[in-house]
Structure 1
């Protein structure tokens, strides 16, 4: 595929990943902030992180059914191209079990950390996954990160830090956990950082094995969803018998209480709508995300994932979930510049064109023919 035709597909994948990922986070926050009467007869927030993680895997599992339908519809075409170099190789579905376990651990730990710390800190610290993924990609994939990409990642992280700090420094910014104590904030932050290391391991593992077997993104997401759904779904049974005291707001203070969750959903239909939105959006988000991993890189996927912070921030401002702070504008500018630098968009191409034009205007340079000059400029543009 020529570069001119590949770019629109890459842009579409990036947009789908950011939009559906934002919907996923916003719907999860909507469910968490919704209150309903539980089995104890008390009105409590919907605090069921493990059940929500099972819903996430259910959304991923939907991709496997879509892949099966797609494969049946195109069976003749695939048989005709069975010898193609890009055709999928035979693989054992168990290769996706480690990625599913990483996803299960990372998501569950992040949801627990979100209950302990501020929502702004949650969004800010998730940006740290860019650094972890880049380092692991260099160490285990032999990837070379160019200078402008390193600068872009550091700039993106600076922007995420500023946006997150605005909610911490300004008390009126609308934190969702205003009553959280200092120890809880520190513990939650550490859990979220730990989760980002696990997520980075998952991304690098996917890039290594998905590209090796040429697995279709729908199949890869679906198999991870199946293993995650089975593993975490079975773990919900022992979680019901584990009492954690005030750490959990569920009926009976259990680590996870599925009957209590369904009771709250019955008493507040908005929770059902939020969970359904979560399941559907995560299906599209993971498909777009793993497609970016295959066609671009794991680090690019992490940068795009971090952009969700911007979308969520803007949406929160529009609907009044938080107040505007000038520090967020500064963070937004850092994010835009960092994304442009990392993806080699606007800033670097403009600088190369300016440098090429300056070289042409230097006195004493020999005159070039039109074709020769065009070749030289194009050569500089792709360096």
Structure 2
């Protein structure tokens, strides 16, 4: 029986998850003169690394929230279960944070080139790479329905890619959707690698989810800040001829309330999205979280068409359908359990369980 708290968590996850992608795209679409007297002139807020920094600040807020919760609620100490240790060095989250920084920055560069809905849909390709890595690196057995889910996701990706091809590159909100989509898919390889690394570490230690997210945010902030300072000296195509012009980013941020709101929206939404996503899984089920995440993609898609970011593409509809079906089949949610209840499939095998595909 679902309680009002359950509906609150579901709504919070849906709203904050949608806001996260929308505010990021809004920030990139905003423009403001960098500063009076500067030669850069008015230009778009093209600073994906600074926006990645905002995301990691949001993740770090989860660590602060966890310690506040412990100080107030004083929960029982964690217990070592299944041979896992409750004592660990936070440095274990440095390598996953490196992967997260690489993947997030690449995805945000891709988002500057393509549509917000394509960005959200193509993130589903992580299932394919996670499945392959769990098979060939961790030596996990992939059951037939896992392969089926990966094939369905692949079909969906092809359809979404065709939608980008037919859309051309004339839209102001998506100057090069094909290249943007390629970058987003490439980033999912790094995301899959991050999941495999986290799986290996977390199989040894008992770590509260919010604390794990928070530590990755902490290391991610340090890495991205360092990269921004390095990229200041690297020639590129952004303002001032830099690969990343952090000075220009903060000047634009100080001169535009729209950009300020977008960055604040990214920080707050990613923090609450992580909290609500973990809570939905714990309080309800992974199935509920998967359904809400699918609705989030649909919400972003509808919003993008409503504000004129993109036009309706029937290939996107087909691709979205296959991506969702593939995700459900791979994660053994809804469809296969129903077939088992009806006696049309054998009971679910217990061994060889692959990595769970999470979204952050």
CA-CA distance at 1:68 after TM superposition: 1.0
Contact 2:128–2:153 at 8 Å: present in 1 too? no
- Specify whether residues 314 and 155 from structure 1 end up closer, same or farther in structure 2 by C-alpha distance, changes over 3 A only: farther
Contact 1:123–1:164 at 8 Å: present in 2 too? no
Cα distance per residue 1:349-375 (max 9 Å; x no partner): 44344446xxxxxxxxxxxxxxxxxxx
**Is 2:32 the counterpart of 1:36?**
yes
Alignment of 1:1-383 (within 5 A): 19-39=15-35, 40=38, 42-75=41-74, 77-79=75-77, 85=81, 89-116=86-113, 122-123=119-120, 125-171=122-168, 174=171, 176-178=173-175, 180=176, 185-186=178-179, 188-244=180-236, 247-248=237-238, 250=239, 252-287=240-275, 308-355=296-343
- Unaligned runs of at least 5 residues, structure 1: 357-378
- Unaligned runs of at least 5 residues, structure 2: 350-360
Contact 2:60–2:218 at 8 Å: present in 1 too? yes
Distance in structure 2 (CA, Å) of the matches to 1:344 and 1:242: 46
CA-CA distance at 1:55 after TM superposition: 0.9
Task: Count how many residue pairs are aligned between Structure 1 and Structure 2.
Answer: 342
CA-CA distance at 1:23 after TM superposition: 2.0
Distance in structure 2 (CA, Å) of the matches to 1:208 and 1:289: 22
CA-CA distance at 1:314 after TM superposition: 2.4
Whose Rg is larger? 1
Distance in structure 1 (CA, Å) of the matches to 2:32 and 2:245: 14
Aligned to 1:214, the other structure's residue is in SS state coil
CA-CA distance at 1:315 after TM superposition: 2.3
CA-CA distance at 1:275 after TM superposition: 0.6
Distance in structure 1 (CA, Å) of the matches to 2:343 and 2:300: 37
Contact 1:221–1:287 at 8 Å: present in 2 too? no
Q: TM-score, normalised by structure 1?
A: 0.75
Contact 1:127–1:306 at 8 Å: present in 2 too? no
More helix per residue: 1 or 2? 1
- Specify whether residues 275 and 283 from structure 1 end up closer, same or farther in structure 2 by C-alpha distance, changes over 3 A only: same
Distance in structure 1 (CA, Å) of the matches to 2:212 and 2:120: 26
